[in-house]
Amino acid sequence: MVTELDRLREENELLRLRVDELEGILLRPSLPACVRLTRKEEQVLSLLLARPLVSRADLMTALYSLSVDDPPSERIIDIFILRVRRALKPHGIEIQTRWGQGWFLTNEDKERLRALP
């Protein structure tokens, strides 16, 4: 006999898989080949392109929503931002910081990024 708890666990697992699938679709737009990034760094950059402002909580949710049992330290977000900044710097694109709120790309930098080969 399947208990309510077993049913909820199964439903939860299916929902986690669906979230992963949807994040994969949403967070993997075609980025310029000249900007070499890891998958997680691409997800960070994709969020910066898609939203006017991205908070630490937004990034933790997007990157680690399926790792609720063992999430990494929130400091990992600083490392990803640093690495993406380094990759964009040679192209004259800069990630801006709004202290206490998050990060963003100006509209000009978003257009510059989309125009890269």
Taking only the tens place, the pLDDT of each residue in 38-85 is 989 998 998 999 889 999 998 998 888 776 667 788 899 999 999 999
- Residues 94 and 105: their CA atoms lie apart, in Å, by 7
- Residue 90 to residue 113: CA distance in whole angstroms: 11
Instruction: Tell me which of 29 and 103 has the higher pLDDT.
Output: 103
Residue type, 74: E
Half-sphere exposure of 114 toward its Cβ, with a 13 Å CA cutoff? 12
Dist CA 86 CA 84 (whole Å): 5
State the pTM of this model.
Answer: 0.72
- Give me the domains of the chain, ranges plus CATH numbers: 4-114 (1.10.10.10)
pLDDT at 23 over 70: no
